[in-house]
Amino acid sequence: MAGVLSGVTVIELAGIGPGPFAGMMLADHGARVIRVERPGSGGRFGDGGNRDILNRNRERIELDLKDPASIAQLKDMAKDADALIEGYRPGVIERMGIGPDLLLAINPKLVIGRMTGWGQHGPMAPLAGHDINYIALSGALHSYGRKGQKPTFPVNAVGDFGGGGMMLAFGVVSAILHARSGGPGQVVDCAMVDGAAILSAMTYTFLGNGQWQDERGVNLLDSGTHFYDTYETSDGKFISLGSIEPQFYALLMEKTGLAGDGDFAQQMNPAKWDDLKARMTALILTKTRDDWCAIMDGTDICFAPVLSLKEAPTHPHNVARSTFVEDGGMIQPAPAPRFSATPAPAPNLAGR
């Protein structure tokens, strides 16, 4: 099987983080992604010899984009490509002589995906930044963390990958579909600050409807409650609980031996949450993670053990679904999502 994006050709100007993640998403599902790297940066894996999962499934070429001959070669490649993606600061590809106006003149159907932190315009557009800064400005970071404590950033999942690379992949595919339906090629301005904001749409919904306090750790989904949180077990490991709905909460009460407790019966009373969390914390600490798995696995409590990066690939559910695969001696997430008629090809760290 060639993948759902078979027949799509994308030129990727090499970068790090969200741009390569978008390239990986496209390549995983069958697009021909040609990664353009600086001369001498290669090695077997095109990343200085390191095995980078984000760079899998690529074709690779080396071009010196300061050299007019290499620029001419890139322009020639763009004539037959569906898209070009890049992750430089605004204005950089224009100075290289491969700006959007020039590329669209060469190929009017070309989609140009531009991945930045702050976007192509705005007072902060030319400035440096990282995931933590983009999610801070979007309002998202303010909501991550515990009551009375400083914001806790979720590694770089929300800015770089969810709000950046995933949005770029979506935007590029959408614009390619539009071009193939008779529309023009165009620029996709993908800013991580915009992506982090759109990922917070539900939180802004709650806030706008008066159902969310603009404060960390006091709300339904931000560790404010006793029934939607992580808890340490007696062996120093952790479990997760998400028993929001009444029927799931009733099961939690049953399996923890708390059914009939008058205080715990007041599930949605915020005035009780701190005390109930303290009691739940003490209760979960009385057993190991495996003990709680034996009690709660296979139920509708909305429960899962908190697995480490090394543990997750061996969990029976992940094994059954082949959620993780191995290539080049590295365990890595398998392509997602899944397509019934055109499954993704097996990942290949060494390229195609």
Cα(292)–Cα(314) distance, integer angstroms: 18
Which among 52, 130, 178, 315 is annotated as catalytic?
Answer: 130
In which residue are the tokens 């559910």 written? 317
Q: Could you tell me the two tokens for 140?
A: 């998202």
- Inter-helix orientation angle 192-199/201-208, to 10°: 50
For residue 241, list its beta bridge partners: 229, 303
Q: Are 41 and 48 in contact (CB under 8 A)?
A: yes
Which residue in the block uniquely carries the two structure tokens 């739940």? Answer: 280
Residues 201 and 199: their CA atoms lie apart, in Å, by: 6
CA distances from 228 to 121, 143, 223, 338 (A): 39, 15, 6, 29
- What is the rounded CA–CA span in Å between residue 49 and residue 229? 40
User: Which residue in 280, 287, 293 sits closest to 253, CA to CA?
Assistant: 280
> Is 160 an active-site residue?
yes
Q: Are 194 and 119 in contact (CB under 8 A)?
A: yes
Query: Using CA atoms, how far apart are residues 352 and 8, in angstroms rounded to an integer?
Result: 15
Count CB-CB contacts under 10 A for residue 235: 12
Catalytic residue among 47, 160, 194, 222: 160
| Residue 27: partners with Cβ closer than 8 Å, 6 or more residues away | 10, 33, 56, 57, 58
- Cα separation, 145 vs 222, whole angstroms: 7
Helix, strand, or coil (residue 151):
coil
Query: Annotated active-site positions, please?
Result: 130, 160
